[in-house]
Each structure stands twice: as C-alpha cells, then as structure tokens.
C-alpha cells in the first residue's frame, strides 16, 4: 500500500496493530485514564484506552466527563505531552563506580523502541520542533536522536476542539499532515465505529498490511473531512500572529508584563506541560563512601530564579521579566533560532496554569498601547 493511501478498519482491528507493534519489539504508549486525567502511558490493549471519556478545559481548569458515545479518542490533549518519553524529565547520562584506583564509566543501554499511539496534529508539530532543537542544530543530543530514529507514530485527527485549543491559528491542526506512520480518523456510526486510516510511511504501510482493511467509500471520506472542518471552526481560542514576532520585540516595556507578573506564581507549570520547551539542568551525585557517582539531566524552567543566575545574581529577578522572556522566546526569538514559532496552539499552558494566565490573551493585550515603564535590564536575546 503506497504512502498517502487510505483504508478503513473496524475499531476492533486496532488491537491487531497493537499486537503487531509489540511483536516487532515496540513499547506501545497511548492515552489512558489515570488519577483524574487522560495521560500518556504504557497501553497494551484497546480496553485501556479512555473509551467514552472526554475533557472540559478552560483557563486554569481541567475536568473529565462522560461522553454520550463510546469514542476512544473523543478528548483533547491532557497534562502529558510526548516530550515525556522522547526528552524525559529525569535522565541518567552516565554512572561511575570505583574499581581499584580508577573508575568504570557506564552509559545507560538503549531503551525499547517507542510506538506513540494517539498523537494529535499539534503534537506532531511539537515533535518536529524538538527534532530541530536536538537533531539538526549545533548541539545534537544522542539519546534523543536514538529514541526518534526508531519511533513509530500513530496520529489521530481531532474530532473536537478543546476550550483552550488554538492550533488553527498556529497552522498546526486539527489534521495531521506529516510526520506520522499511520493516521486515524475516528468515525462513529449508528451501528459500528470505524477508523479511516492514512498511510504516512513505508513502515506504516507494512503495519497496516498486517490487519484487515478495506477501501473507504466516498461517504466515509466526506464524513472524515466534515469532522475536521467542524473541529477547525470550533477552536476555543485564537491567536493573531500578524507581525507578532516584531510586536514582542517592540513592547518589551509594556506594562502588561508587570500585570502578568503580579498574577504569575513562577511555578513553571506552563514549561512543564509545554510540548516544545526543552530547557534542562544537570546534577552530579555521588555516594557517601565515594565508591559511585552519576550525572543526571532533568527538566528546568526559565521561571525559576536560579535558571538565569550568573555571578552576582539572577539576570531576570522579577516574575514579570521571567514571564516576558518565556512568551517572547516562544513566539519571537524561537523563530530566529529554529525557523519556526515555539508554540503549536495545544493550549496546555492555559489549562494547567493555576491562576489561568492565557497566552492568547496576553499576546492580544500587547497590541493595545500602554504607558511603558522603565525597562528592566535583561539579556534575553538568544
């Protein structure tokens, strides 16, 4: 089956894809219900998918609720992004153990191949952005590259928009356009649920051949397209990106930054849930007897006071300055560094902000003239 081909499978046939991936040595990861949220975790059987569940999301609010149908993918993105697996929050870089008068250095063995099931269009864009950061620039990351080399991606086109979604504004959804091996569009019929499957790679074609499928009808193709159009028309948020890159540079002294800083808790939630934020720090640990040591890398956030610490103090000592740096980097400086915006419109930073700060609202406020305050001296250029 060629790349770009489409086929129909009954919903139960998806288990055959799970089984085929496991047989090929993949660790299968997908959405599942855990502790009051839909998160990404190990999933080996379709019964572990959140059938019949959806979520309600607004600024600072996330709530699960039951659907009126049994859709498997009838929800929006949750607190976890796929970054958790491709760029882990805590990673052992190397360990060492004393052997006589020297040390033996050990680098962690390669992990199992990853199969990501249920990747949304905005998340595909986020993965592509992280690929630029870790695979295409001067500072390549070997462990990230190893994970991405063998990753199998099953995308899911969105059949609904969340209250904080704005992927249409960022050109990143709701349809998965590239970067997947297979993509699914869930079609709920009166008698039986089916999936329209699109082949995105030769590896995807080989996997699809291992499960029963048939050609789609014109009505099924039209139904899938109509679902995507409905989703695109019902975004919960919008972000005007017109000259936004330049605007953020020009409004460095806008009073809105201080207003946001008064609300912001500097908790770093927005950077933790963001699928593109990549900042880390490194820690070295050793045993009390000096026999063993190790170096770990862990996620860090530009919202912490120590993140920009240099001799004499932090470069960005106020919360407003740190918020300005984060938003300006995401929507302006990132373009200079990587050729694309650092935002994909997933809305996670809005939903999971404890005080409900809305990135779309803040960007819009900067378009309103304000009396500039004395600009804090910072070094925010990349």
What pLDDT is recorded for position 315? 81
How are beta strands 193-199 and 6-10 bridged, if at all? antiparallel
What pLDDT is recorded for position 372? 44
Q: Cα–Cα distance between 155 and 177 in angstroms, integer? A: 10
What pLDDT is recorded for position 307? 84
What pLDDT is recorded for position 101? 83
Beta strands in the chain (DSSP E): 6-10, 26-34, 37-42, 53-58, 61-66, 90-99, 102-106, 113-119, 152-156, 182-188, 193-199, 280-286, 292-299, 309-310, 313-314
Q: Cα–Cα distance between 284 and 291 in angstroms, integer? A: 14
CB 64 within 8 A of CB 53: yes
Closest C-alpha among 200, 239, 28 to residue 116: 28
CB 170 within 8 A of CB 344: yes
What pLDDT is recorded for position 190? 63
Q: Which residues of the chain have pLDDT under 70?
A: 190-191, 370-382
Tell me the two tokens of residue 378.
């910072």
Tell me the two tokens of residue 288.
């009390």
What pLDDT is recorded for position 191? 66
C-alpha 188, offset from chain centre: 26
What pLDDT is recorded for position 375? 42
Q: Classify the C-alpha dihedral 366-371-373-375 as positive or negative.
A: positive
What pLDDT is recorded for position 328? 93
CB 335 within 8 A of CB 246: no
Q: What are the residue ranges of helices labelled H in 83-235?
A: 83-86, 121-131, 142-149, 167-170, 202-208, 218-233
What lies within 8 Å, CB to CB, of 357 at 6+ separation is 59, 260, 263, 264, 270, 323, 349, 350
How are beta strands 102-106 and 90-99 bridged, if at all? antiparallel
């Amino acid at each position: 089956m060629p790349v770009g081909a489409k086929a129909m499978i009954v919903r139960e046939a998806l288990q055959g894809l799970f089984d085929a991936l496991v047989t090929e040595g993949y660790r299968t990861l997908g959405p599942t219900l855990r502790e009051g949220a839909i998160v990404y975790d190990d999933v080996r059987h379709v019964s572990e998918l959140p059938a019949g569940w959806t979520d309600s999301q607004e600024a600072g609010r996330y709530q699960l609720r039951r659907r009126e149908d049994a859709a498997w993918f009838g929800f929006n993105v949750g607190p976890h992004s796929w970054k958790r697996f491709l760029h882990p929050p805590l990673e052992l870089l190397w360990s060492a153990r004393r052997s006589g008068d020297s040390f033996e250095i050990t680098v962690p063995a390669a992990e199992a191949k990853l199969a990501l099931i249920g990747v949304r269009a905005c998340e595909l864009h986020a993965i592509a952005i992280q690929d630029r950061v870790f695979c295409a620039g001067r500072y390549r990351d070997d462990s990230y590259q190893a994970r991405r080399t063998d990753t199998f991606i099953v995308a899911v086109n969105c059949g609904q928009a969340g209250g904080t979604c704005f992927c249409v504004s960022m050109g990143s959804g709701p349809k998965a356009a590239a970067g997947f091996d297979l993509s699914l569009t869930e079609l709920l019929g009166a008698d039986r649920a089916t999936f329209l499957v699109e082949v995105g790679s030769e590896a995807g074609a080989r996997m699809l051949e291992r499960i029963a499928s048939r050609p789609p009808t014109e009505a099924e193709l039209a139904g899938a397209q109509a679902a995507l159009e409905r989703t695109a028309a019902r975004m919960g948020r919008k972000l005007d990106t017109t000259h936004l890159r330049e605007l953020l540079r020009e409004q460095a002294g806008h009073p809105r930054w201080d207003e946001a800083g008064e609300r912001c808790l500097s908790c770093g939630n927005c950077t933790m849930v963001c699928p593109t934020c990549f900042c880390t720090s490194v820690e070295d640990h050793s045993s009390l007897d000096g026999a063993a040591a190790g170096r770990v890398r862990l996620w860090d956030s530009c919202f912490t006071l120590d993140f920009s610490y240099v001799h004499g103090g932090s470069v960005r000592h106020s919360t407003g300055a740190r918020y300005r740096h984060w938003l300006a980097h995401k929507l302006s400086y990132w373009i200079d560094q990587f050729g694309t915006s650092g935002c994909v419109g997933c809305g996670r930073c809005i939903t999971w902000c404890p005080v409900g700060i809305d990135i779309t609202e803040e960007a819009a406020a900067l378009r309103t003239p304000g009396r500039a305050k004395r600009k804090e001296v910072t070094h925010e250029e990349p």
